Chain A
């Protein structure tokens, strides 16, 4: 019997936690209670990027983390993090669970020594701010937006005409409260969990980034398991993934209603987001095509979504 250590980046109560709990539940069930998984929430076992290295070396069993923290170790995964690559939950499911996803799992295994066995879906990073409603890029002009230290996100905001402020997560809430920055973007579940409604008023339903958070297992730990246990781990990952999609559907509508009730004003981007999409894809994509493995990789992804190749 073994208790696997699972590093979880976020605090309890979010999609990462939900994926981890379900994984543990199914793993116990499939192994007849022989193995289980203990979740260490909130980065207790190190930063998300550290956990990828730890798992690769074999000093950590599992980790659940945001996809952009996998990209530095396996660049092709970056295709999923380009702005407007994923435009709906269905797109996300098609990509992660279809042939593109299989390819990404293989690449990550080859590049980073970790195996992706499940996905948490956290939804689109919606834009919130405390100043005024925003529906067009022009209305963003006077809003100081906080972003994580992430080149693609910084470049996307640049494409929309503003310089976003990179800021550590630990400083963000206070900075919003004090007005050092006016806005930020994060999935609804995070906005709700972090009580951003206390310091933000306007929400714009942007869809430029869909947060997906893979569950990875150390390949060396995985190979140490018996064939049945390996199967159990994979099945538990699949079950947890399915659960995560359902959790997102249930939560998002509930949270939107509650945030509205608390006084937040939610708006959709003007003109079906066309201006936002055009600016982002025309200015950001070309810059990252090489780093994600070239035009073919990109077109492969677009084809699997039934969209026009470039």
Chain B
């Protein structure tokens, strides 16, 4: 069998190189190259793939969202959103930590990245929680966990990447014959579908937070809600609250496409930062440009090698084989969902989210189609599952950031984050098992 030997070579050398400590992009590229040579195919194909995998218009949303996020930080937009959330903390048990979750939701609505959300919220909320007598580990853990809301609530860079990977893939005719036409995937559709799941995950986190805080005896302030403070936070945060409305409102009223919305976000931030908040310095603009440079270079180099890797899988029809063997084990939809989610959680522990989406979408989406799973629903579950990976060791970007802010060890935070990981996983299963929760909103709005 050519197929089984090529699978062995491709995945064997990929995993071997990863364990050797090679960068992910190198592991992908070299294992693909070895397989090309083994199959006696001309690797000159790499050259065109390098160019065209990256040279796509919608992909420009990636650096644009990264840049917008970095600028929002420097322009004081993030800080005002967090202050607003904080003002809601009040007398409730676990109020201030609930406010941290709320802040992640607010910030998630302008940021497309998980670690950026954790950093922006954690910087202010972790010290605030500690000041109110919270355990440092607990404060870090809840922020790291809620940071994933940044990629579930739109806009979302992982959804852009999933959209780009999925748009080129159509349902196999057999699946259409069995389940009827599937809806087309589009980035705005994914964005709008992410709202309800974002709320669901936030709710599970809030419930877990309430239970934990009750046990730990973290009470709220004794003097009740301060409406003055809330009004003040609203006033100060006016232009920050307007940001998500501009970004998402612009997409849904037809002023611009999702790719362009990231561009508009940049200029909105520049405007607010320079003329209204008057906090944006030239130096921090340069710094934001620089951060965007290496972050984009790193991720998109992976896109190139992941595309070559994926091309090999497609040409050798490996996704079909994986699907078949999965279906031969069981054809129970819930069992298969469980297998897929478990697999994604496992991958999310070790691998960078965007790289995982690029590599896995071509393999998993055909399986989803063959089971009649809606591609938009599937994309949301993939993003939510991988989002949990931000808070799980060994590679958990949110953990690193929370640890840096609070000065608590990764080990301690991950331990404290376990209940929240559990809560999020429950949320993911709810989202996976009840597709209508995800799909009613896009349907309602005519998508």
Q: Which residues of the other chain, A, contact B405 by a CB distance below 8 angstroms?
A: none
User: Contact between B187 and A174 (Cβ–Cβ < 8 Å)?
Assistant: yes
User: Contact between A59 and B259 (Cβ–Cβ < 8 Å)?
Assistant: no
Closest beta carbon of chain B to A190's beta carbon, Å:
14
User: Contact between B257 and A175 (Cβ–Cβ < 8 Å)?
Assistant: yes
Q: Which residues of the other chain, B, contact A58 by a CB distance below 8 angstroms?
A: 42
User: Contact between B257 and A46 (Cβ–Cβ < 8 Å)?
Assistant: no
User: Contact between A45 and B42 (Cβ–Cβ < 8 Å)?
Assistant: no
User: Contact between B48 and A178 (Cβ–Cβ < 8 Å)?
Assistant: no
A42, A43, A53: which contacts B48 (Cβ < 8 A)?
Answer: A53
Contact A57/B259 with A42-B168, A168-B57, A178-B253 known, Cβ cut-off 8 Å: no
User: Contact between B48 and A171 (Cβ–Cβ < 8 Å)?
Assistant: no
User: Contact between A180 and B257 (Cβ–Cβ < 8 Å)?
Assistant: yes
Distance between Cα atoms of A228 and B48 in the complex (Å): 33
User: Contact between A44 and B168 (Cβ–Cβ < 8 Å)?
Assistant: yes
User: Contact between A47 and B257 (Cβ–Cβ < 8 Å)?
Assistant: no
User: Contact between A57 and B184 (Cβ–Cβ < 8 Å)?
Assistant: no
User: Contact between B255 and A46 (Cβ–Cβ < 8 Å)?
Assistant: no
Closest beta carbon of chain A to B103's beta carbon, Å:
30
Residue of B nearest to A199 (CB): B446
Closest beta carbon of chain A to B441's beta carbon, Å:
16
B41, B49, B186, B255: which contacts A180 (Cβ < 8 A)?
Answer: B255
User: Contact between B254 and A173 (Cβ–Cβ < 8 Å)?
Assistant: no
User: Contact between A46 and B48 (Cβ–Cβ < 8 Å)?
Assistant: yes
Q: Which of A1-39 contact B (CB under 8 A)?
A: 5, 11-12
Q: Which residues of the other chain, A, contact B187 by a CB distance below 8 angstroms?
A: 174
Q: Is A41 an interface residue (CB 8 A)?
A: yes
User: Contact between B173 and A178 (Cβ–Cβ < 8 Å)?
Assistant: no
Contact A59/B256 with A5-B315, A171-B57 known, Cβ cut-off 8 Å: no
Distance between Cα atoms of A171 and B169 in the complex (Å): 15
User: Contact between B58 and A170 (Cβ–Cβ < 8 Å)?
Assistant: yes
On chain A, the number of residues with a Cβ less than 8 Å from chain B's Cβ atoms is 27
Q: Which residues of the other chain, A, contact B58 by a CB distance below 8 angstroms?
A: 168, 170-171
Distance between Cα atoms of A168 and B164 in the complex (Å): 12
User: Contact between B170 and A42 (Cβ–Cβ < 8 Å)?
Assistant: yes
User: Contact between B44 and A59 (Cβ–Cβ < 8 Å)?
Assistant: yes
Q: Chain A 159-171, CB within 8 Å of chain B: the 1/0 string?
A: 0000000001011
Q: Which residues of the other chain, A, contact B186 by a CB distance below 8 angstroms?
A: 173-174
Q: Which residues of the other chain, A, contact B167 by a CB distance below 8 angstroms?
A: 170
Distance between Cα atoms of A136 and B343 in the complex (Å): 58
User: Contact between A171 and B259 (Cβ–Cβ < 8 Å)?
Assistant: yes
Most buried by A among B254, B315, B447: B254
Q: Which of A122-145 contact B (CB under 8 A)?
A: none
Q: Is B178 an interface residue (CB 8 A)?
A: no
Closest beta carbon of chain A to B70's beta carbon, Å:
25
Q: Which residues of the other chain, B, contact A268 by a CB distance below 8 angstroms?
A: none
Residue of B nearest to A59 (CB): B42
User: Contact between A174 and B168 (Cβ–Cβ < 8 Å)?
Assistant: no
Distance between Cα atoms of A45 and B259 in the complex (Å): 25
Q: Which residues of the other chain, B, contact A5 by a CB distance below 8 angstroms?
A: 315
Contact A43/B257 with A5-B315, A50-B48, A59-B44 known, Cβ cut-off 8 Å: no
User: Contact between B256 and A54 (Cβ–Cβ < 8 Å)?
Assistant: no
Residue of A nearest to B173 (CB): A12
Q: Which residues of the other chain, A, contact B258 by a CB distance below 8 angstroms?
A: 174
Q: Which residues of the other chain, A, contact B315 by a CB distance below 8 angstroms?
A: 5, 40, 45
Q: Is B222 an interface residue (CB 8 A)?
A: no
User: Contact between B252 and A178 (Cβ–Cβ < 8 Å)?
Assistant: yes
Closest beta carbon of chain A to B104's beta carbon, Å:
28
User: Contact between B52 and A46 (Cβ–Cβ < 8 Å)?
Assistant: yes
B44, B188, B311: which contacts A45 (Cβ < 8 A)?
Answer: B311
Contact A54/B168 with A168-B58, A175-B257, A180-B256 known, Cβ cut-off 8 Å: no
Residue of B nearest to A5 (CB): B315
Distance between Cα atoms of A151 and B187 in the complex (Å): 28
Distance between Cα atoms of A46 and B55 in the complex (Å): 12
Distance between Cα atoms of A53 and B44 in the complex (Å): 11
Contact A43/B57 with A57-B42, A178-B251, A180-B256 known, Cβ cut-off 8 Å: no
Q: Which of B147-197 contact A (CB under 8 A)?
A: 164, 167-170, 173, 184, 186-189
Q: Is B56 an interface residue (CB 8 A)?
A: yes
Closest beta carbon of chain A to B235's beta carbon, Å:
32
Closest beta carbon of chain A to B47's beta carbon, Å:
9
Q: Is B45 an interface residue (CB 8 A)?
A: yes
User: Contact between A171 and B168 (Cβ–Cβ < 8 Å)?
Assistant: no
Q: Which residues of the other chain, B, contact A170 by a CB distance below 8 angstroms?
A: 56-58, 164, 167-168
Distance between Cα atoms of A248 and B417 in the complex (Å): 61
Residue of A nearest to B317 (CB): A38
Q: Which residues of the other chain, B, contact A72 by a CB distance below 8 angstroms?
A: none
Closest beta carbon of chain A to B285's beta carbon, Å:
28
Residue of A nearest to B189 (CB): A174
Q: Is A98 an interface residue (CB 8 A)?
A: no
Q: Which residues of the other chain, A, contact B252 by a CB distance below 8 angstroms?
A: 178
Closest beta carbon of chain A to B164's beta carbon, Å:
8
Q: Is B314 an interface residue (CB 8 A)?
A: yes
Residue of B nearest to A178 (CB): B254
Distance between Cα atoms of A274 and B253 in the complex (Å): 37
Q: Is A179 an interface residue (CB 8 A)?
A: yes
User: Contact between A54 and B57 (Cβ–Cβ < 8 Å)?
Assistant: no
Residue of B nearest to A60 (CB): B45
Q: Chain B 242-279, CB within 8 Å of chain A: the 1/0 string?
A: 00000000011111111100000000000000000000
Distance between Cα atoms of A5 and B41 in the complex (Å): 13
Distance between Cα atoms of A168 and B255 in the complex (Å): 17
A43, A46, A179: which contacts B49 (Cβ < 8 A)?
Answer: A46
Distance between Cα atoms of A171 and B129 in the complex (Å): 44
Distance between Cα atoms of A53 and B58 in the complex (Å): 24
Q: Which of B311-341 contact A (CB under 8 A)?
A: 311, 314-315
A-B pairs with the 3 shortest C-beta distances?
Answer: A179-B254, A178-B254, A168-B57
Q: Can you give 10 contacting A-B residue pairs, CB < 8 Å?
A: A5-B315, A42-B170, A44-B168, A45-B311, A45-B315, A46-B48, A50-B48, A57-B44, A173-B184, A178-B254
Q: Which residues of A contact B (CB under 8 A)?
A: 5, 11-12, 40-47, 50, 53-54, 57-59, 168, 170-171, 173-175, 177-180
12 extra interface residue pairs, beta carbon distance < 8 Å, beyond A170-B168, A178-B251: A40-B314, A41-B170, A44-B169, A44-B314, A45-B314, A50-B52, A168-B56, A170-B58, A170-B164, A174-B257, A175-B257, A177-B447
